Amino acid sequence: MKKLSYAIVGSGALGALYGARLHHAGFETHFLFHGDYDHVRQHGLRVDSPWGDLHLRGINAYQRVGDMPVCDVVCIGLKTTQNHLLPTLLPPLVRAGTAVILMQNGLGAEEEVAALLPQAMVGGGLCYLCSSKIAPGHIHHQDYGRVMFGAHSPGMEDVLKQVAADFAQGGVPVQLTKNLAEGRWRKLGWNIPYNGLSVVLNAETNEIMDHLETRELSRQLMIEVLAGARACGHPIEAEFVEQLLGFTVKMKPYSPSMKLDFQARRPLEVEYLYERPLQQARQAGVELPRIAALTAQLRFLDTRNCLK
């Protein structure tokens, strides 16, 4: 079987970590950088990780998508706040049969990319990851890192199996799901309470869980996520809420990515993580009032933060 080649579009805390693991495992990997390009060209890419620290020099680094080769697999590591760039970034990298995997949070991105690139196979990668960029070209992977791959386009199951095997060869825990949409709702079960509350309360996950009222608020937000998922045809077992709460209690103190974005005055991923789930649930006849209230608070804080 022919080895797959990979393009990493968005080489930050997520994309650079997984791309570095693929490169280290011997796969042809091409990285698109933005502000870190000059630093990486001069000093290399550094990844500190429980899976093993890496300092990669001489990697295939690019500042312009037009300089990158067409690859078999394009992994999108950008935040969804940058998805307006995809109509420019993706077409030069895609040919008939290219697999485009959105390693992002939230709902609706696969549908958009499939409409944009009908010649491509589109899938998702759900990343259960604690990682951040602490300096130019320097990624600090704190914990976790499992990726769950699922198909959006029909007929791409075989290529996803090969992608999963390649990630596993790079030391990444992997899983395949037959229901990507349900997987995305399950991930929202954690992302909606903890990303949003970490911004509104200016708190890390352990602080949220150590306080009785905010722990209960997290629970009620999760219950609403499950109500939205069920209305949209993805029933999730009620025990999942307690599983998420227990998982979060055991986590190391962690600032979710939305809190880090807010502190850095970067736009927040409100649309794909909050507004689109609310819209889908509403279209299915269900209102999610606590999530709607949290969404309004995040929009206010995001707007004010970006104006400063």
Active site residues: 187
Per DSSP, which regions of the chain are E strands?
Answer: 6-9, 29-32, 45-48, 54-56, 60-62, 73-76, 99-102, 121-135, 138-151, 174-177
Most distant pair of Cα atoms in the chain: their distance = 55
Return the structure tokens found at 117.
């690139």
Q: From residue 72, how far is each of 3, 6, 249, 302 by CA, in Å?
A: 9, 6, 40, 37
Half-sphere exposure for 218 (CA within 13 Å, toward CB): 31
If you compute the radius of gyration of the chain from its CA atoms, what whole number of angstroms results? Answer: 19
Distance in angstroms (rounded) separating the CA atoms of residues 297 and 306: 14
Are 84 and 143 within 8 A, CB to CB?
no
Return the structure tokens found at 255.
């600032």
Return the structure tokens found at 164.
């999963």
Q: From residue 226, how far is each of 57, 68, 272, 278, 289 by CA, in Å?
A: 45, 41, 17, 12, 13
From the list 154, 186, 147, the residue with the least C-alpha distance to 168 is: 147
Size of the chain, expressed as the number of residues it contains: 308
